A and B are shown apart, each in its own frame.
Chain A
Amino acid sequence: MSSESSVLECRNVTAHYDIGKGIRVRAVDDVELSVKGREILGLAGESGCGKTTLMRTIYRDVSPPLRVVSGSVTIRVKDGEEIDIYKLSDAELRRIRAKVLSYIPQGSMSVMNPTSRVKHQFFEVFRKYGRFKKGEILQQVKGRLQELGLRESILESYPHQLSGGMRQRTVIALATIMNPSVVLADEPTSALDVVYQRGVVEMIQNIRDMFGTSFIIVSHDMGLHNQITDRIAIMYAGKIIEVGKTDGIFSDPLHPYTEGLINSIPRIGGSKKLEGLSGLPPNLANPPPGCRFHPRCPYRMEKCAIEEPPIFRIGDRVVSCWLLEGK
């Protein structure tokens, strides 16, 4: 791995949806991304920009019509060993899921087995790794719930008996029970009331602090990113166009698209009129030439429509925009 401190690294990842008749949707295009230990990385962008597809690609949840064209995803296990996710056998892949890499899918309200008590859904994860003593595991699970501030009584409940926020927190507890190195969380708060969002955010931060887990949080909600993430990667039309520390991104967005995203956040007491982005994201089956953002960009230059901007590194910031050429 290039950087010793990163636990997960995507290199040149490209993934397409083959939707027949030769039409290819380039949902993830040549993505470079790394997550450091104990880091909460945000992945932001409008819906349809490929965020969820990137998550599925990292998790190797790939089935037709989705196809990974090129690239590698490596993850570092606790003992320092590095695994290339795409080189694992099916059985090995099953084993690292939950223990090394976990996934909290979008709409996780409906991801628990409706006919099984919560405790059995915890047991299932342990049972994956061979025989176990029920009593011991129950104690372990109870301890974990206590650490996370969840009531023990949820273990005897069925999923539908839990409130929305509680169910979401239970799913997170389930996904992190084996202390994975990295957790991918897709829109973890989007279906929740503001009150419950707070609880989920705190829980994710607690898990990071207590167990050193890294998270990739996918959300279109810049407010959430501001609250929770250490670094943000901005995705547009299948490409990562800017990566940087959260504070820096918010105080000084370099890419015009990032600027547009941030300006579209409503602020309490803010008197400035909201300046959202105009126009729609491009059709990924037929993206525009040059920079993919140029048709919507307020600062576009002639060059933007012709040549794709390379990656510019400015301090710890990575930006892909011609405006930064020579800076």
Chain B
Amino acid sequence: MSRLLIFIASRLVAFAFTVVIGVSVVFIIPRLLPYNPVEAQIGFIYSIGQFYDPTAIEMLRQTLYELYGLKGNPIEQYFAVWRRILTFDLGPSIMNFPTPVITLISIALPWTIGLLTFSTLFSWTVGNIIGTVASFFNHKKFSKALTGIAVVLYPVPYFILALVLMFTFAYLIPIFPLGGGLTLVGMGLSLELALNLAKHAALPAISIIIPGALGWWFLSSYTLTTQKKTEDFVRYAELKGLSSRVVLRRYLIRNILMPQTTALGLALGGIFSGALLTEVVYAYPGIGRLLYAAIINNDYNMIMGISLLSILGVSLATLLLDLIYPLIDPTVRYR
């Protein structure tokens, strides 16, 4: 029992360390920007000529510095950031002042989570099934064809594929809309709304699913299966005269499921930074596009908020996997 506690404690410490270092790096980088958002805002106020009272301006300036987390020297700022993080107050967005960062994130997050959870799970399932089957029957024609497709899809970044899809389906054969989350339709009809939503999410989803299922997950499960196939216990299963179905299901799929589940966990943990490029290319209103806008507009608070979210997502996924792994994989025990 105490060994289990030590194991959990050590994982928690490692988790804390990675989060602290991650947040620190994300803290430092925007502060290297040669741009002062507060002075820019003050300048903007001057330019439209509303305020002229210097004391009021000075007060406003101080308030803004505090809101943006830019008050005091870098060390004070650093601790202020942590205070904010720990009180779940990420401050107002600079580009959409004064809407809080949290509000904007919570509007964009469902779009991203909906799109990415669905497409990740879908491509994981499909990719693993066809990858394992194709590797098992690796002398069949369909297997060779699928590997050929995967070799093209795997290395090509998904945004390039998004462009190809956009060219094909929005230009050559115009089935899908060119972008956006939803075209305004008469309110009320929920079916129509849902269809509309699906139609807009379809291309972004397809451009994630196709390279995911037929490229990444296909090839990783294909490679894993090919390795497993040469292992003694699989060879012996065939020698015992077990049917291909049993070998495939109980020996191959079962044994590649462990590493593939880990990979799925990490992929799901990575959802929170959004599919930045796909969202930008398709003008999809998710976290990725929000982050892109924040970077372009020097919105410190927003960058910090989304980065924090994605750092937490990835390191939490790692932590959970570390803790759960020994439960699902009988050959691994808590160390």
Contacts and interface: CB of A to CB of B under 8 A. Distances in A.
Asked if the two chains touch in their complex, CB atoms less than 8 Å apart, one says yes
Nearest to B232: A110
A115 B233 CA distance: 11
Contacts of A175: 240
B330 A113 contact: no
Interface stretch (A124-132, A211-219, A245-253): A124-132
Count class of interface residues, chain A: 20 to 34
A61 interface: yes
B246 A115 contact: no
A323 interface: no
Nearest to A104: B236
B258 A115 contact: yes
B2 interface: no
B329 A115 contact: yes
Interface in A82-138: 93-98, 103, 105, 107-108, 110-116, 120, 124-125, 127-128
A115 B255 contact: yes
B241 A115 contact: no
B250 A124 contact: yes
A94 B329 CA distance: 30
A94 B243 contact: yes
B231 interface: yes
Contacts of B47: none
B152 interface: no
Contacts of A120: 250
Contact of A127 (B233, B239, B246, B329): B246
A114 B330 contact: yes
B254 A116 contact: yes
Nearest to B234: A113
Contact of A93 (B233, B241, B243, B255): B241
Contacts of B331: 114-115, 158, 160
A59 interface: yes
B107 interface: no
A182 to B, nearest CB: 14
Contacts of A111: 232-233, 235-236
B245 to A, nearest CB: 11
Interface in B235-277: 235-237, 239-243, 246, 250-251, 254-255, 258
Contacts of B231: 110
A114 B246 CA distance: 15
Contacts of A116: 250, 254
Contact of B233 (A59, A97, A113, A128): A113
A127 B232 CA distance: 21
Contacts of A98: 240-241
Interface string B214-232: 0000000000000000011
B42 to A, nearest CB: 64
Interface string B263-299: 0000000000000000000000000000000000000
B250 to A, nearest CB: 6
Nearest to A161: B330
A115 B239 contact: no
A97 B236 CA distance: 11
Interface in B55-109: none
A97 B239 contact: yes
Contacts of B233: 110-114
Contacts of B239: 59, 61, 97, 103, 105
A115 B254 contact: yes
Contacts of B237: 113
Nearest to B231: A110
A212 to B, nearest CB: 21
B59 to A, nearest CB: 66
B241 A95 contact: yes
Contacts of B240: 97-98, 103, 124-125, 175
A107 B232 contact: yes
A36 B254 CA distance: 41
Contacts of B242: 94, 124, 128
A55 B263 CA distance: 41
Contacts of B330: 114-115, 158, 160
Nearest to B244: A94
A269 B111 CA distance: 82
Contact of A113 (B241, B251, B258): B251
A95 B241 CA distance: 7
Nearest to A56: B239
B100 to A, nearest CB: 48
Given A110-B231, A115-B254, A128-B243, A105 B329 contact: no
B243 A114 contact: no
Contacts of A96: 241
B187 to A, nearest CB: 52
A128 B330 CA distance: 25
A13 to B, nearest CB: 19
B102 to A, nearest CB: 43
Contacts of B235: 105, 111
Given A110-B232, A113-B255, A114-B255, 6 more contacts: A95-B241, A103-B239, A108-B236, A115-B331, A160-B330, A160-B331
26 contacts: A59-B239, A94-B243, A95-B241, A97-B239, A103-B239, A105-B232, A105-B235, A105-B239, A108-B236, A110-B231, A111-B233, A111-B235, A112-B233, A113-B233, A113-B237, A113-B250, A113-B254, A113-B255, A114-B233, A114-B255, A114-B331, A115-B255, A116-B250, A124-B246, A158-B330, A158-B331
Identify the 6 closest CB pairs spanning chains A and B, nearest first.
Answer: A97-B241, A94-B241, A111-B236, A110-B232, A158-B330, A111-B232
Interface of A: 59, 61, 93-98, 103, 105, 107-108, 110-116, 120, 124-125, 127-128, 158, 160, 175
